[in-house]
Amino acid sequence: MDSEKYIGRLLDNRYEILEVIGTGGMAVVYKARCHRLNRLVAIKILRDDLSEDMDFRRRFHAESQAVAMLSHPNIMSVYDTSVTEEADYIVMELIEGITLKQYMEKKGVLNWKETLHFGMQIAKALEHAHSRGIVHRDIKPHNVMVLKNGSVKVTDFGIARIMSKSNTLTKEALGSVHYISPEQARGGRVDNRSDLYSLGIVMYEMMTGRPPYDGETPVAVAIQHINGGAQMPSVLNPNIPGGLEQIIVKCMNRDPAGRYTTATELLNDLEEFRKDPGILFDFGALPVDEVTRLQGMNQPAPKPAQPRTTAERVAARNAQRPAHQNENGLHLADEAELKRRQEQRRLARQQREELEEKRNKTMTTAVAICSGVAVIALLILLVVLYNGGMSGDVTTVPVPTLLGQIYKELDTSRYPNFEIVLSDYNYSDEYEHGIIMDQTPKAGDQVAPGTQIKIWVSMGPKEKELPVIENLKNMTEEAARNYLDALDGKLVPIVRTEHSDEVEEGRVTRTEPAAGEPLTRGQTVTIYISAGPEQVKKNVPNVIGANITGALAILNQNGFEKLSSMEEDSLESKGQVLRMEDAEGNQILPNTMVDVKTEITVFYSSGEMYAQMPDFSGDTTGQEAMKLLSDLGFKNVEVEEEYHEEIPAGNVIRTNIPAGTKVDVTASVVLTLSSGPEPTEPPTESIAPPLVTKEIVIYLPQNQTEPYTLTIMLGSGITVMDGKEIQPGTETITVAMTGTGVMYYEIYINGEYLRSEKVDFSA
């Protein structure tokens, strides 16, 4: 496909192709301008060979229409689709940013916060699409755009579904095969869990800098997905938090039954990890003897050294797995095993709740009994100490200080003389989350070797419940931020702008979550700030000279909706457009760019013209009077002469219509000129001035849309041009005229009077 061939073309008389911004195995992406909405868009045009496949085109159109219904801030918007003989294309929003793949190549290994930030946004996009029955099928860093504000948008929804119909691993699949699910690689049934697998691969690559499987050919990589056995992420990056590694490994389970069922489940665990980065999930069943030990029912056995990394924890768990469970820890062998483990977890929780209830009921009795036992034990201890002190056989050791240490980093091997047991978690305003806040026995106490030290770990300050978010509409950005800060919920504000016709520029239009919705600690709150009304400028079409009805329709079709019309007296034909003005009375010229929301008044001719008859005094010459009457629009003027003793020859004596009278310009006007005093002697023969021929350039009207006839009359009935056909758009015509002195010629269009012009043959 020649990617340059569409540049400069106008698709569907709407989209002007400007430049190439990307190429792929199935299409070329162009930057284009939508002339109807005056905005920049991205247009993906299919390759010519794919457009020749009618079945492919049908699926392409159906899938594109479905994807166009998606509306989510983390999904690239699809505005329009077209399947025509000219081109098959999708119109999408134009995003300024780079792909997640480019971002990863630029930064290398991402930290866990960035991985969580990007992963949650992709999962939200998948949650929205899956809820509408759309599976992406090609989640990879190349199909995720990173915007300048740090948010991401997933692209190419639905297109992967069409491409996957071939079920082949060609060179076009090379960029995708690193991220496909095992069922995709086998050509099996694909559902939303396939997208979650691919997302797990993407998060794996973000945390390690490389995908889990690689090979020389796409087929080799696909086989690795089917067989499994990827290295744990913590082997490549020991800094990955254990909880996040667990989430990634669960997403990458090669058996769909072992993955998250929905994107919502994945988001819930990601949110739990975000709240507590030190969390470890119990995806497997908790052994009964461990439950018993935590409840303190039996004397605990010495606690083995805890694995230090998630990789070690998973390896330890694998050692206890049934034989039919996969050795790489990425999935369960069958659904029955998963259900058995879930039932074990339910029974363990039930057992803990029953034990807690039993403990509460017996607390009062236990306190009384323990008080008596404590007195007896104290007496026995004193005797033992006394006898031991006398004999020198008893050895004691001081209790170490554990307060203030990080529980998850506590190295029990440093305290070989003690068994350290976690008693409980409690809220604390003094100690941060995960810090040891209390112990018994106390530090410094002398106890026998092997004594058990119980510890209590802080959960940090008890978080207060946040209220529902108030309506922040019309607040300033600063006031909205101050409101969120005052809630003390570690809320993360993100500011975006949008056009609004009702909210003043610089003030809040809305928030996400919306007013009245509940807030959670650490939640991201998007504040939308008004950028004022959206100004869309368009070219004003030239409707001057057109009929008022058609002119209003043309303006409306070009996006101008605030239209009104006004009739005024004019020499032009009835209904003919004369000019356009805005609300302030400024003239709007054709072919200029004007905001589509501008109020436009279109003035048109009433087809009638009235004028006030001038006052011609005795010093007005006939030529001056004729010029003035012509300028006022009078069309039927007759000239008579009579002798007058006082008024010089050639000057106006009177008119048949009194001065100051308002009269229709089509009325007949008789202009009486003076011939001077009546002669007393026979007049002498005068010599007539010579005739002069001149080339006169006549400017023709530009409001004609069809051919018309042009007639030119000079003086009193001399025809210079009679019914010559003129084509629309002709600006001037040159005509030879012959006369003497100063004369006037009249112009007629299709037999109707247009105007008069003066010719000075003496000049």
Active-site residue set: 138
Q: Which of 392, 394, 412 is nearest to 402 (CA)?
A: 412
Please write down the long-range contacts of 477-484, taking CB distance under 8 Å and 24 or more positions apart: 477/506, 477/507, 477/508, 477/527, 477/529, 480/508, 480/511, 480/527, 481/527, 484/525
CA distances from 316 to 248, 310, 329, 338, 747 (A): 18, 10, 10, 18, 105
Q: Which of 715, 731, 525, 721 is nearest to 639 (CA)?
A: 715
Structure-block tokens of residue 630: 């012509």
The contacts of residue 328 (CB under 8 Å, 6+ apart) are 228, 229, 230
Measure the CA–CA gap between 614 and 331, rounded to whole angstroms.
104
CA distances from 233 to 230, 242, 309, 311 (A): 9, 10, 11, 8
In sequence order, what E strands does 391-465 have?
397-398, 418-426, 436-440, 446-447, 451-458
Q: Which helix (H) or strand (E) segment is 593 a member of?
A: strand 593-595
Measure the CA–CA gap between 663 and 569, rounded to whole angstroms.
13
Judge contact between 115 and 244, C-beta under 8 A.
yes
The contacts of residue 288 (CB under 8 Å, 6+ apart) are 344, 348, 351
